Chain A
Amino acid sequence: MTDGVERWQRGAAVLWRVSGDRLMLKEASDDDVVVLGPTGVAVWEELVEPTALAEMALRMSVRFGVEAAAVEADLGRVLSDLHARSLVRRCP
């Protein structure tokens, strides 16, 4: 992946569980547990492999029947928040 596009992936030291339609994430060295709703589960599934934000947004827009641009904007905010907690990481 040397196309210069920034990709996202799950954090390296994250413990997680899916409980019903909710996702729980805990960075190993952090005391807090982050709980996300059904969209969070879908995002987490996308992050198994390094994925570009635009690709992810496109697939999720089809899945949830929402405009891709709106999904991309929301996803960008969610990923930034998760990144701040070391729950996801950026891949070059």
Chain B
Amino acid sequence: MSVEALTRAVAGHGLPTVCAAWPAEPLPDQLWRAVLDRAKQQRFTGLLLDAVRAGSLPTSDAQYEDVAEAHLQATLRVLVVESASLPVIQVLADSGIPSRVLKGSAVAHLDYPDPSLRHFGDLDLLVRSEDYDRTVEVLGAAGLKRARVQARPGFDRRFGKGATCRAADGREVDLHRTFVMGPFGLRIRLEDLWGPPAEFEVGGQVLHALDAEGRFLHACYHAAIGDVPPRLPPLRDVAQMLLLGSVDEARLRWLMERWQAEAVVARAVRLTWATLGLQQPVPLSRWALTHVPSGRQAQDLAVYVDPAKRSYAAKSLASLAAIPSWRDKAAFAYALARPRPGFVPPPAPHRDSAPVRHAVQAGVRQLRAAVKGHMR
């Protein structure tokens, strides 16, 4: 088996309908090292250790010790990150600013049977647009300063995705007011994110997260348009929530229509099924396989995922069409044409990791072959 195939098998470990061909004997040490390194990069040491302990992947004693130690070290870092997030959330709550924990910690506790299967490296927090500027001030007073200058005062609050706030000791908070920058982020009906929260407990503190459909949609945005090529953890999250979670498909479809996000969800689900080798379809994966995006959504998707079109400028241009009022369009265009000194457009979140790209491309080739077979 190749490193890519083994990495995908690890990413899909424990999911129903995955048909992974695990080796019958422990891997040669060089291959094992490569798989372990990949698991560390993708924060999958928990899934790898679980696959080993479940007997899916045989190991030598030394290999078992390798993965057990790697997972222990990775989990220690997660505990430190999670612990450091508690006072940040508390300082916002004390200032009367409601927040929702996004991705990492929330998904680990709410969507996985054991949070140690889902690792993460930072805290992502969603706040309301109207609280955004004050949140930046409160975090700044707590030592977490905005890492980048925004284009104009109020620009992030009105049009942006959010900002990274960083402390001198290296702690980071990714502050969000929406899921992504650009047209798909601007079309999200943000009021839909602020219904009754899902709750989870960390260190005796009750934290708030998005509901199951909100978490699933965020995972789809992350998987489909967050990185090119997509990273494996958000693909796993999509599968985990759809196959083992409590996503209400009727509400999900209602939300994705309201947010004009069908192309995002379809791409995320297709990538997930292809990359993780999921065998059996569910209603949403059947829909995703045959979904043809509207012309507008296809154009918008291209500015996120097409290497020839994805750029800050292309996203900004596409954003103009997604901003409803002419007054706001003018403010948006003016801010980018005459930004404040020091403003630098954020780099594209481009992780052109060859191994992951190969794994995803191999999955997509298999999916295309399956679709061709299905169409005959």
Contacts and interface: CB of A to CB of B under 8 A. Distances in A.
Contact of B49 (A11, A12, A20): A20
Given A13-B203, A17-B78, A18-B114, A24 B72 contact: yes
B49 A19 contact: yes
B202 interface: yes
A18 B203 contact: no
A12 B79 contact: no
Interface in A1-19: 11-19
Interface residues of B, number: 21
Interface in B36-72: 46, 49, 53, 68, 71-72
Interface residues of A, number: 18
Chain B CB within 10 Å, residue with most, of A11, A13, A15:
A15
Interface in A34-87: 35
Given A19-B49, A24-B79, A33-B80, A14 B68 contact: no
Q: Is the interface of B mostly helix, strand, loop or mixed?
A: helix
A74 B45 CA distance: 32
B68 A15 contact: no
Contacts of A33: 76, 79-80
B373 interface: no
Contacts of A11: 204
Given A22-B72, A28-B86, A17 B79 contact: yes
Contacts of A19: 46, 49, 68, 71-72, 75, 116
Contacts of A21: 68
A24 B167 CA distance: 26
Nearest to B202: A15
27 contacts: A11-B204, A12-B204, A13-B204, A13-B205, A14-B204, A15-B83, A15-B202, A15-B203, A16-B79, A17-B78, A18-B114, A19-B71, A19-B72, A19-B75, A20-B53, A20-B68, A21-B68, A22-B68, A24-B72, A26-B79, A26-B203, A28-B83, A28-B204, A28-B205, A33-B79, A33-B80, A35-B72
Query: What are the nearest 3 A-B pairs in CB distance?
Result: A28-B203, A13-B204, A17-B116
